[in-house]
Amino acid sequence: MKIAVIHGEVPTGAGRDEQDVLTQVDSVSRGLVILGHEPVVVPVSLNLAAFARTITDLRPAMVFNLVETLAGKGNLVHLVPALLDVLKIPYTGAGTDVMLLTSNKVLTKQWLSAAGLPTPPWVTAAQAHEGLRIEGAWLVKSVWEHASIGLDEDSVLFGTDRKRLFAEMDVRRERLGGACLAEAYIDGRELNLSLLEDAAGPELLPPAEIRFDAYPPGKVRVVGYRSKWEEGTFEFANTIRTFEFSAQDAPLIVKLKELALGCWELFGLRGYARIDFRVDREGQPWILEVNANPCLSPDAGFPTAALQAGLMYPNLLDRILKHPRQC
């Protein structure tokens, strides 16, 4: 098949998080060639009319959607699948409504809470939740931006109160890309669970944990921007992904799998997804985020989990291609 591999246009001087999509484009394109397909790379800008003309003239059998931002903004990401729906071109990953719901962390939390699925308490400037007690540690993060944009250990405020928390959200708005939220900080373990669709439904891939073993006492344990993107930093070197769990973790893994499948059903996920969790000191898991189109760089969490399940990278792409969003 001729497959259009689309991604958000990456400007000169873009940060490592934005440049990573080019690694994904290269890896996916190489994998598609191995599978016998013809990949054609198409960058997408805010000129959606031009993109529509390009993709219409190209007449691909399918689109492999790697768009994570438009013009560097995560709150525009759902516009691309919406346009593909209008053009009636099948594409990989989640549909328009799912991308809108899961890219907005507040909407995600509202849906999780309404369904009775555990997510940390949160507040925003627009939704103050006056009855919610603000005490202990709270984490301030972007509503729309992913890839840990603006997230590091100084994002966690200890011993805060309502007035200080709202003041901090106001101060941090611009560096977090606009709207932000604060959620109760879960001091504990960080785990994620990847799901890959097959003919019988979603397959649960081996669970992963991000370990902070080398962190000294008192250092905040978050998977922040430095952890993901800044090579040479302590955080990058010492947030280690592992797939090894003890026998005592078996009941926890069962619970995480139940919650991940619950998220798949609740949001109508498609193709592939990753659910991020925190587990508190009492062993209670909390859903942090639902990633509807997770990163496909070969060393990222999703492909690594697939490899643990015995799926080489081209085989992973083949599975994703077999379950496109049909318009």
Query: Are 10 and 143 in the same domain?
Result: no
Both 248 and 110 in one domain: the answer is yes
Same domain, 43 and 162: no
pLDDT score at 175: 74
Rounded to an integer, the average pLDDT of 60-68 is 97
Same domain for 244 and 301:
yes
Q: Domain check: are 251 and 106 in the same one?
A: yes
When pLDDT is averaged across residues 47-54 and rounded to a whole number, the result is 97
Residue 326, domain member (yes or no): no
Report the pLDDT value the prediction gives residue 146, as an integer from 0 to 100. Answer: 67
Verify that 242 and 179 share a domain, yes or no: no
Q: Is the pLDDT of residue 131 over 80?
A: no
Cβ(196)–Cβ(306) below 8 Å: yes
Task: Return d(Cα 281, Cα 286) in angstroms, integer.
Answer: 12
Query: Quick check: is 229 in a domain?
Result: yes
Mean pLDDT of 74-89: 95
Q: What digits encode the pLDDT tens for the residues 256-272?
A: 999 999 999 999 999 99
Q: Please compute the mean of the pLDDT values over residues 86-113 and round it to a whole number.
A: 95
Structure confidence at residue 120 (pLDDT): 96
From 184, 214, 238, give the residue that closes a domain.
184
Token code pair at residue 281: 């000191």
pLDDT score of 64 more than 80: yes
Q: 58 is in which domain, residue-wise?
A: 2-93
Q: What is the mean pLDDT of the chain?
A: 92
pLDDT tens string 23-32? 999 999 999 9
Per-residue pLDDT averaged across 280-299, rounded? 95
| 38-44 and 2-8 strand pairing | parallel
Percentage, residues of the chain above pLDDT 70: 97
Instruction: Give the Å distances, CA to CA, from 168 to 93, 124, 154, 175, 182.
Output: 35, 11, 11, 12, 9
209-221 pLDDT per residue, tens: 999 999 998 898 9
pLDDT on residue 249: 97
Inside any domain, residue 132: yes
Segment 92-100 shows an average pLDDT of 95
What CATH number is given to the structural domain containing 68?
3.40.50.20
Is residue 199 in a domain?
A: yes
Give yes or no for residue 147 having a pLDDT over 60.
Answer: no
* 213 in the same domain as 271: yes
Residue 73 pLDDT class (50, 70, 90 cuts): confident
Q: What is the pLDDT of residue 262?
A: 97
In this structure, of 18-22, 95-99, 191-195, 259-263, the range with the lowest mean pLDDT score is 18-22
Q: Does any domain span residue 130?
A: yes
pTM for the whole thing? 0.92
pLDDT at 150 (0 to 100): 67
Which residues, other chains included, contact 297 with Cβ-Cβ below 8 Å and sequence gap of 6+? 20, 23, 24, 27, 303
Residue 177 and residue 203 in one domain: no
Whether the per-residue pLDDT at 152 is higher than 90: the answer is no
106 and 16 housed in the same domain: no
What is the mean predicted confidence (pLDDT) over 104-130? Answer: 90
| Residue 70 and residue 203 in one domain | no
Note whether 120 and 278 are within 8 A (CB). Answer: yes
Same domain, 208 and 308: yes
Examine residue 327 and state whether it is found in any structural domain, yes or no.
no
Count of domains observed in the chain: 3
Q: What is the pLDDT of residue 109?
A: 96
Q: How far apart are CA 18 and CA 151, in angstroms?
A: 15
Whether residue 180 is predicted with pLDDT greater than 90 in this model: the reply is no
Place of tokens 């085989």: 315
CATH number at residue 273: 3.30.470.20
pLDDT value of position 309: 96
CB 305 within 8 Å of CB 218: no
Q: Which of 166, 193, 214, 182 is nearest to 277 (CA)?
A: 193
**Is residue 149 scored above 70 in pLDDT?**
no
Classify residue 79: in a domain, yes or no.
Answer: yes
* pLDDT at residue 142, as a whole number: 86
Q: For residue 148, is pLDDT > 80? A: no
Last residue of a domain, one of 184, 215, 233: 184
How much is the pLDDT for 125?
78
Same domain, 73 and 180: no
